[in-house]
Structure 1
Amino acid sequence: MIAESRLRTVGVVLAGGIGQRMGLNTPKQLLKIAGRTIIEHTLDTFDGHPEINEVVVLMAPGFVDEAAELVRRNGYTKVSKILEGGASRTESTWRALQSLGEQECDVLLHDAVRPFVEPRVISECVAALRHHEAVDVVIPSSDTVLVAAPGPHGDIVHEIPDRSLLRRGQTPQCFRLSVIREAYRRAFADPGFGARPATDDCGVMVRYLPDVPIHLVAGSEQNMKVTHPIDAFIADGLFRLRGRAAPALTDDECRRGLDGRTLVVFGGGHGVGAELADLAKGYGATVRSFSRSRGGVRVEDAGAVDDALAHVHAETGRIDHVVNAASALHVGRLADTGQTALAEIVAVNYLGPVNIARASLGYLAETRGRLLLCASSSDVRGRAGRSLNSSTAAAVVNLAEALADEWAPQGVRVNCLNPERAVTATPVAPSADSGVTGTIPPEAVARTSLDVLLSDLTGQVVDIRLRR
């Protein structure tokens, strides 16, 4: 252990891979998962961490401009450099270390394609670096690991190490700058290093500075690395299951975000829409609500939606936020659903959000505003008796994620809210046995809706769960 260090802390996001094992034509860190690129998810965590002072990005050759655009679009204020990566991970790391100047600092080297790194892990690494010069993030091995050896007809088991002593390495891997630089200097001075390169930075330390102990910090099973095609599907599923928490805003933040702004709510006649309208008015927003019962606006009628938005813009001169809380609830077997009810559910639950989105873009682009679509947690898995609601909810989620990407150049943010059970929908052919045993209060969903609207999130699916 060394004397406590309180140096500048730099997060280095290594995004130099080219996606060869993924079979992609673009780097895997630019692959979209849960509505955003993998590197955006990773940078969100590092740029937003209070103990990270600076972020340096090493990007795959030829894609530095794309990374710079993502940084600009997301407003990552801590990213100081975007450098072109090298031909190998070790070369990319060395370029990053060389770019940090001569002033001593603590460095956290992290794979960009580990988008699930937890703030807790980063905090524990920063704390460990106050007393140690090298820190690695690890998890226990749940699998038995074998040491193979050549046999007469192929490889054979040579040894089975004690699993209780084995750990699987993750990132970030963390070091005092001068220490990891010295290890790499010795590595590159070794003629044999190129023929047998280390697979990670701790490997360089162990080989070339073996007297420096590497402290271990507990990682997370979710801190997976997206390397193979199947990993992308697993990662997307993890994002969906985890959901994204909406930042809880203070009353003052809500007033600053809404005072003098115009909010349009479709489906504002009752439930979440009505609660949201009342809440926003209390913070100084000009609110206009539309529904079948209020103004006779049906969201499935594109002309009615166009007229409603045009009227609001003519009246107030601006539209800053648009929310769709209109939906139709149907409980019953698809085979028992009549054509009229089926057409109405699909029209309200899917065509409605499409109409609202298409009509809103021009107004929201003027104000760099926000669109919030409400779906339901039924999008995660189809359930018997709710096939229409499940499938249309999944469509709305994908619509929001796609629009967030399409509209990013115009500065418009798009998100989707997934309340588990809330009073948002008008029943269509209701069943006496809905299977619903509890609902989230509309005012709670409205409050979360407001938090999402006023946040910097985009392309996110925010779940609201019943407390059990």
Structure 2
Amino acid sequence: MKNIGIILASGTGTRFRSETPKQFIKLAGKRVIEHTLDCFEQHASIDDILVVTAESQKPLVEEIILQNAYKKVRRIIIGGATRQASTAAGIAAIVGDNHKVLVHDAVRPLLDHATIDRCLAALETADCIDTVIPPTDTIVQASAENTIANIPDRSILRLGQTPQGFRSGLLREAHKLAFHDSQLKVTDDCGIVLHYGLAPVVLVEGNVSNIKITHPSDIYLADRLFQLRSATTSQVDLRHLKNKVVIVIGASRGIGLACAQLARQHGAVVIEASRHTGIDVCDRSSINRLFSQIVEQYGRIDFIVNTAGVLRTGAVSTQTDELINEQLDINLKGSIIVAQEGFKCLKETGGSIALFTSSSYTRGRAFSAVYSATKAAVVNLTQGLAHEFHPFNVRINAINPERTATPMRTENFGNEPEETLLDAEAVAKDTLATLLRSISGEVVDVRR
């Protein structure tokens, strides 16, 4: 008996209003379907994965599987014109009637392992399960005249999600019956089982974050949800930094100095770089020379942290070309150069880059408009490069600390109450933990 995931990825994206089907849209540094496959691939109890897709999309799915080296994906199945036909194709490819089968929409990329655990546990005693969450809004029943016919009791209603789970033999029988029933009108596989009375459908607790990507706005919501996921940096053991080669640019003070000190305390080989050591983040030859020397000396580079940044406050009318160019060069151009030159080295080790943004990236602030613009650009840079770097197993994320007690902040805002500011060491801890995580293309918020 195996635990098998059937991933439905045949959608054409009609409601999404995009030439690219929504399962292939970029989200948090990867395609939507990659996040979904990652969840099943990395779950210890999942044995096999089948991907059901359209014939025209099969080459792209094959490329994605090869790029990610998914070991559990056994087959790519050509689906049908409807969801029902696609699931039927998936179950037809499974031999045996006693497997636990989880049918999941590829466009629900925020599925978590805890939900999979609950589904598999429920299938120990049930032959059919549905993942659901309680509704938060009032649900009304509409009449043919477009008026309210009824307001059902919300306490007995649930919103259906996926995965839906089945014993393989039951799902096979359900689709065998459905194939010969042209009058059947259901929207999912549990509906087929329920229609024919084949088995009780047991409800399993879902997760409110397990949203389905249906409309363009869902991509923005999902991107934010990825940032807020429960897998936090506090769960990362920094002892995994031992013997890793870590470059910290901007290490002369503030967050950069804290990163260097903390990494060294956990056994990393740390190279501190800044203008004080003759390294100019805006000078490509300077960065290239630094990276080349480190590779020559240590044989590799594992992680790169770029904290180099500058803030020049004041109304934009008072910002001279010199002040504007300084912020553009150090904050943005420097990040681009570090990412470009670092990628050449990190693709040999599957390493990670941490750039720095600011809470001002979401909304430009008066008297620091240029600085805010550069930090918004760093976020876009990070998200774009995460997608480019993904096939080479290189990760890149943007650290977004709230107001932090650093010399740069004091120089611009004077002395502020300590209790209102983050400690640089706290930011350093989350930065180093992010380097060790598998995430890419994310904005990692650091808060008090």
TM-score by length of 1: 0.85
Cα distance in 2 between the residues matched to 1:408 and 1:248: 23
RMSD (CA atoms): 2.9
Letter in 2 for 1:27: P
**Pair 218,454 (structure 1): closer, same or farther in 2 beyond 3 Å:** closer
Cα distance in 2 between the residues matched to 1:420 and 1:75: 37
Among candidates 77, 83, 95, match of residue 89 of structure 2: 95
**Pair 282,171 (structure 1): closer, same or farther in 2 beyond 3 Å:** same
Superimposed CA distance per residue, residues 314-361 of structure 1 (whole angstroms, 9 cap, x where no aligned partner): 444433332211122345544554544333222221111012122223
**Pair 323,454 (structure 1): closer, same or farther in 2 beyond 3 Å:** same
Aligned to 1:4: none
Aligned to 1:202: 190
Letter in 2 for 1:226: I
Letter in 2 for 1:421: R
The structural deviation recorded for 1:133 is: 1.6
The structural deviation recorded for 1:105 is: 1.4
Q: Is the 8 A contact 2:97 2:170 kept in 1?
A: no
In percent, how many aligned pairs have the same letter?
A: 38
Q: Relative to structure 2, which stretch is displaced further, 447-456 or 17-26? A: 447-456
Among candidates 2, 10, 14, match of residue 16 of structure 1: 10
**Pair 425,292 (structure 1): closer, same or farther in 2 beyond 3 Å:** farther
- Following superposition of structure 1 onto structure 2, how do residues 420-459 of structure 1 map, counting pairs within 5 Å? 420-423=402-405, 426-427=408-409, 430-432=412-414, 437-459=419-441
Do structure 1's residue 182 and structure 2's residue 173 form an aligned pair? yes
Letter in 2 for 1:147: A
Aligned to 1:37: 31
Q: Is the 8 A contact 2:68 2:391 kept in 1?
A: no
- Name structure 1 gaps, 5 residues minimum: 1-6
Do structure 1's residue 253 and structure 2's residue 240 form an aligned pair? yes
Q: Is the 8 A contact 1:245 1:463 kept in 2?
A: no
Cα distance in 2 between the residues matched to 1:433 and 1:113: 48
TM-score by length of 2: 0.89
**Pair 36,251 (structure 1): closer, same or farther in 2 beyond 3 Å:** closer
Letter in 2 for 1:329: L
**Pair 448,139 (structure 1): closer, same or farther in 2 beyond 3 Å:** same
Q: Is the 8 A contact 1:328 1:427 kept in 2?
A: no
Letter in 2 for 1:11: G
Aligned to 1:218: 205
SS at match of 1:272: helix
**Pair 205,72 (structure 1): closer, same or farther in 2 beyond 3 Å:** same
Superimposed CA distance per residue, residues 271-293 of structure 1 (whole angstroms, 9 cap, x where no aligned partner): 33223333434555433221122
Q: Is the 8 A contact 1:117 1:223 kept in 2?
A: yes
Aligned to 2:142: 147
- Name structure 2 gaps, 5 residues minimum: none
Q: Is the 8 A contact 1:331 1:429 kept in 2?
A: no
Cα distance in 2 between the residues matched to 1:156 and 1:445: 54
Letter in 1 for 2:258: E
- Following superposition of structure 1 onto structure 2, how do residues 276-425 of structure 1 map, counting pairs within 5 Å? 276-293=259-276, 295-335=277-317, 337-423=319-405
Among candidates 233, 247, 254, match of residue 264 of structure 1: 247
Cα distance in 2 between the residues matched to 1:239 and 1:435: 32
Letter in 1 for 2:157: L
Q: Is the 8 A contact 1:320 1:369 kept in 2?
A: yes
Aligned to 1:46: 40
